[in-house]
Structure 1
Amino acid sequence: MSVNVESYVVEPGDDEYVDQAWDLKERINNEEGVLKQRRGFFTDAYRRSTVYCYLEDDDLVGFASTRRDGYILFLAVAPEFRGHGFGKRLVAIVADRHASVTCHARTTNQNALDFYRHLGFEVQRRVTGYYEDGGDAYYLRLGEDGLREKLTRFMGF
């Protein structure tokens, strides 16, 4: 990993990095069996959202695609960049810009659930058949116990 990682924001209506985001999502899907969205759904959602990115030499290494209400549609970090705080920073950026932060996570995606719980997300409810393949999801919300402030202070926002 290079020390040349920079952050970038893709505004709604822009599809810059959409192909790289799709490729990263698909790589994670193939390796881990998660992030199973169809390309049309993914591309449409990406273009309608604000996307916070981390780039290394113009290569996408992580991103969070977020709706205007702070709902995280997609969060992905390349496996070789995990454990360096990029996922945490992406969530912190979203938390800094929105009054609430929510998302869904597949009930079988233990890595994602552990990550979100570690950051202070709380399960609000289980949604049966949420995913197109019939998989269940948890609806998660970042707790209001001050963690948002801790995250934003920690990340320097």
Structure 2
Amino acid sequence: MAALPVELYWRVCYTVVVSVNIDSRVVAPGSDEFVEDAWQLKERINSQEGVLKQRYEFFTDAYRRSTVHCYLQDDELVGFAAVRRDGYILFLAVSTEFRGQGIGKRLVARVAEDHDSVTCHARTSNENALEFYEHLGFETKRRINGYYEDGGDAYYLKLGDDSGIADRISEFVRR
């Protein structure tokens, strides 16, 4: 697996000024740790933005099968990324109160440490997510009509191509 160079990882993950103490944890596949907190965070975002529309059973099953990178403040979940073994991000969510503090970038950087490429789907109407992923250097590989259970369309996005994921992250850091 390709790992980010230590200096690059440090810049991506630790140069963000955060006014509060944020702890990170990794939840191994098969664990329920933080699953209910993650569901509640996802549901708050869904009610505010109309995205992350998964059903409870689908969400909890996928969560339990994933490695989940979590960020917490005072033991409250403020962001998480649930990732399959192949580097596919199933869910990425950051509490609206904590956006703009680099938590999403740090979550993607954590995933990129362990995988040669990072992929995900994003709803074509989710402009915030699409801007976020584009800013990090993800490329749209294809559009999938009717991808979501409610009939919504998605883009399949990928970070890491012929130039390698470390180079892509390096480009992001220089921006």
**4+ residue stretches of structure 1 with deviation over 6 A?**
none
Aligned equivalent of 1:24? 41
Structure 2 unmatched ranges of 5 or more: 1-17
CA distance in 2, matches of 1:149, 1:89: 16
Q: 2:106 aligns with which of 73, 86, 89?
A: 89
What is the deviation of 1:4?
A: 1.7
Q: Is the partner of 1:54 in helix, strand or coil?
A: strand
What is the deviation of 1:143?
A: 3.6
What is the deviation of 1:3?
A: 2.0
Taking CA–CA contacts closer than 8 Å with sequence separation of 6 or more, which of the two structures ends up with the larger relative contact order? 2
CA distance in 2, matches of 1:48, 1:147: 24
CA distance in 2, matches of 1:55, 1:80: 13
Residues 118-129 of structure 1: pairs in structure 2 closer than 5 A: 118-129=135-146
CA pair 103-13 structure 1, distance change in 2 beyond 3 A: same
CA distance in 2, matches of 1:77, 1:130: 23
- Is the contact made by 2:112 and 2:165 (CA closer than 8 Å) also made in structure 1? no
Residues 1-157 of structure 1: pairs in structure 2 closer than 5 A: 3-144=20-161, 145=163, 148-149=166-167, 151=169
CA distance in 2, matches of 1:28, 1:3: 21
Q: Is the partner of 2:72 in helix, strand or coil?
A: strand
Q: Is the partner of 2:33 in helix, strand or coil?
A: coil
Normalising by structure 1, what TM-score?
Answer: 0.93
- Is the contact made by 1:119 and 1:147 (CA closer than 8 Å) also made in structure 2? no
Normalising by structure 2, what TM-score?
Answer: 0.83
| 1:8-52 deviations in Å (ceiling 9; x for gaps) | 000000010000000000000000000000000000000000000
Opposite residue 123 of structure 1, the aligned amino acid is T
CA distance in 2, matches of 1:149, 1:53: 25
Output the aligned Cα RMSD: 1.7
| 1:53-106 deviations in Å (ceiling 9; x for gaps) | 000111000000000000000000000100000000000000111111000000
Opposite residue 77 of structure 1, the aligned amino acid is V
- Is the contact made by 1:142 and 1:148 (CA closer than 8 Å) also made in structure 2? no
CA distance in 2, matches of 1:112, 1:26: 16
Tell me the number of residue pairs that the alignment of Structure 1 and Structure 2 aligns.
154
CA distance in 1, matches of 2:72, 2:167: 25
